[in-house]
Amino acid sequence: MSRADHVASTRKQWLVQEAQSLGFAQVGVSRAAFLDEEADRLETWLKRGYAGEMAYLERNMDLRLDPRKLVPGAKTVVSLLFNYHNPDRSETSDVPRIASYALGEDYHFVLKRKLKDLMKAMQEEWGAVEGRVFVDSAPVHERAWAAKSGLGWVGKNSLLLNQSMGSYFFIAELIIDVELEPDAPTTDHCGTCTRCLDACPTGAIIQPEVVDGSKCISYYTIELRGAIPEPAAKQLGDWMFGCDICQEVCPWNRHATKHNEPAFEPHDALLDMKRSDWLDLTEEVFKEVFKKSPVKRTGYEGLLRNIQAWKAGSA
């Protein structure tokens, strides 16, 4: 092993330990380069209209596919997984459901704070390090990079699946100008299972690994700004914000364990809300309960729209 390779390996080991001390479950490393395999796939997906009103996915394609254009001088993409699984959430049938990732504080802020601490620790340990941290907040193809670095494979529901964690985790990235020992991709372990395709009530999973985002319950309840189409409104079931159905039926999530991040615990008031509280939700209560939550992204009027769709479906 050359001295450069030894340094890259040693630094990677240190980085993994430091990241785990901040709560990240797993870390994978890839060399920064153009994502050849994803370019045509992403272009086809967009041309078929699967992004719906999510026009931001069509912007900055060159940056999304090449991290060296997003971060000049980039040599390495570090992907990190952070568990958010909350199996203890209420399953009461007479209240609407929120996707488990959104039950606590907004992950963008929680994880970005941790990533900045990690970047600072790297600079203190290694000297000058240039780069940026990302938490679903810029044109970074996070799932592709995580798969490329061996943290899992892309399941038939298009989510990253991990043998020991399932899929209840956030993916974050560091794109830096430091060489680190890269990891190798893993293999697909979905086999012949089609539970996610069979369970999706809106038929959003068109084929293995291809999801029509414009038909997903998460799209209808979060991204869509207008009225929810009537056929879709009847298919939302109990979901008011996001959806976990394809994760709940996935056999790999039998390995998922509860998170240990206090910031991801649900707001006390959220757990206490009854059916009548949701139906009579005021803007004041909305602002108080969801002031640090991803749910505020819908806005008060958007959440009322979702509540009305849930009410009609549960009547």
136 among known catalytic residues: yes
User: Pick the catalytic residue: 5, 66, 88, 136?
Assistant: 136
Give the tokens for residue 175.
Answer: 């794109």
Measured between alpha carbons, how far is 305 from 187 in angstroms, rounded to an integer?
Answer: 42
Among residues 20, 37, 16, which one has the least CA distance to residue 28? 16
Residue 247: φ, ψ to 5°:
-85, -40
Among residues 250, 220, 271, which one has the least CA distance to residue 52? 220
Contacts 24+ apart (CB under 8 A), 109-113: 109/292, 110/261, 110/263, 110/264, 111/82, 111/135, 111/170, 111/172, 112/137
Active site (catalytic) residues: 136
